[in-house]
Amino acid sequence: MLFISESESVALVTHELAFVAAREALIAACEPATESFPVVLGHGSSTANRFTVKAAATAELAGLKVGSYWPGNRDRGLERHNSLILLFDQETGRIGTAIEAGIVNAYRTAAADAVAADVLARPDAAALAIFGAGHQARYECAALARVRPLRRVLVVARSAERAAVLAAELQAQGLDAEAAGAEEACAAADIIVTATPARAPLFEADWVRPGTHVASMGSDARGKQELPPALFRRAALFCDLPGQSRSIGEFQHADRDAVLTPLGEVLSGRLPGRGSDEAITIFDSSGLSLQDLTIARHLLAQRAASA
């Protein structure tokens, strides 16, 4: 079995690699030969410590990702999120490759939102409202800055101190960033991204301007919610996988007759994306195992090329 440690996977991953892998995975998710299996949601001995198991198979890849969230790790000076990707040797059924992918997972998640923004956000979108100031928010801002000319970033967080820290970090990276309130941020934003563990809407539907692109990446379990359902009725709805989005994603809160478009169908040109400059688009990124398997394959290729 090939084992790639966290330090090695961090040295291999880039936003460009993650973007290419995410785009490839989202298209492949819509292919008939691809199977995404039901997500397993579990917890540790303490119910505060949670994990998910996501698995998928294609004609070329089969495997799974175990993702964990241990909130008490912050007090230990450790990351709260960790991931392990396992690829099967399909001839023997043994694990052929294991990749520690805590940071890779952050790149992979942000890349999916960047791929969605690249095809759904207005070409001139320049103002980003990011809800959440945690680990993932930093990667979201960096990934989106690659696909749109961000000139302003408004950081919304429950903690004013953490919002200010993130804004300062983004300023050091050359982005015009500031802490802001939710209504102010929505009113100014061309793109809104929510990266939180929320279980209730983070803002009001009528705060969102026509022409805005919205992405939710925090809803990945039953009961989680970041967006106001009233906004769905004003918007075109896109997701990584409709069945999963309705089960554990943001669109578990959508009307039963709401039309959900898989982003892969838009990327492949089979279905339309943004209808007009005034349209509101929403992308629900509930997270696919196929994204993990695909980025693992790209990491392996990068490792071989660097050898």
C-alpha span between 52 and 279 (Å, rounded): 34
Active-site annotation holds for 65: yes
The residue type found at 11 is: A
C-alpha span between 260 and 239 (Å, rounded): 7
DSSP-assigned beta bridge partners for residue 42 = 51
DSSP-assigned beta bridge partners for residue 81 = 69
Strand, helix or coil for residue 126: coil
DSSP-assigned beta bridge partners for residue 235 = 280
C-alpha span between 273 and 146 (Å, rounded): 20
Catalytic hit among 54, 65, 274, 298: 65
Pairing of strands 40-43, 50-57: antiparallel
C-alpha span between 129 and 288 (Å, rounded): 24
Catalytic positions? 65
